[in-house]
Each structure stands twice: as structure tokens, then as C-alpha cells.
Amino acid sequence: MLKGFRDFVLRGNVVDLAVGVVIGAAFGTVVTALVKDLLTPIIAAVVRKPDFSAFFFELNGAKFLYGDFLNAAISFLLIAAAVYFFVVLPVNSLLSRVQKQAPPDKKKCPECRSGIALDARRCAFCTSAVS
């Protein structure tokens, strides 16, 4: 019973997932700090109000804290923008450079235009002879 559990825990996918979760949590802290300490003060300088949590209205004795929702929405948009501009765009740029440098591993069939192996003599899709 314990051997099966050990095999499950030490399987590559579980370890990779655990590492990804830990790194993701650490990265989330970095992105939150970036938004809170750098991007939010820029908005505060423009709007002249750094915190919207005090904004609310009352209706029949019920308090609607729309300022908290506004803070959460702005935080979400800033975090999404930070992840996109500081992670997604640079990684996509790096991947496109690497993919351009990689030699092709397939060629096009002259008949059906499907991708086939470079050393293939027949197309696997249309069975035409390929030179």
C-alpha cells in the first residue's frame, strides 16, 4: 500500500505539478507586489484617490460597498496586464525566435499539402509518391 503511494507521489507529473504550484504562488506574490507597489500608485497619482474602498451608498439600510468591488476590479485588470506585458509577450517573443531557428522536421505533400516526414517516400494521407 505504501509502495503504491510512493510510486504515485514520485511520478513525474505529480512532482512537476507541485513545482508549478509553488512557483506559481511565488510568482503571484511578485505580481501582486508589482501591482500594489508600482502600478496602483500611478493610478492614484492620476485619479488623486489611491483607495476606493470608502465609496458606498445606502438603500433602505443596506450598505452597498461598490468601492471594494472597484478596487478588486482594478487590481484584477492591473494584474492581468502585468502578467500579459511582463510574462506572456516576452515568452511568446522568445518562443518565436527559437522556432524560427529550428530546422523543419516535415515537408508538404505535393498532392494534398499535408505535412509528412522528410524521409517519407509516400504520403500517409493520400498515398501519392513523394520524391
Q: Which tens digit of pLDDT belongs to each residue from 46-84?
A: 877 767 777 889 999 999 988 888 878 887 888 788 888
Distance of CA 31 to CAs 35, 45, 47, 97, 130, Å?
A: 6, 20, 22, 26, 52
Share of the chain above pLDDT 70, in %: 95
Rg for the chain (alpha carbons), in Å? 27
What does the block give as the cell for 101?
A: 531557428
Q: What is the pLDDT of residue 130?
A: 85
Over residues 95-106, the mean pLDDT reads 77
Euclidean distance between CA atoms 125 and 6, whole angstroms: 44
What does the block give as the cell for 28?
A: 503571484
Q: What is the pLDDT of residue 83?
A: 81
SS3 track for 7-53: HHHCCHHHHHHHHHHHHHHHHHHHHHHHHHHHHHHHHHHHHCCCCCC
Domains of the chain: 2-104 (1.10.1200)
Q: What is the pLDDT of residue 58?
A: 92
Supply the mean pLDDT for the chain: 82
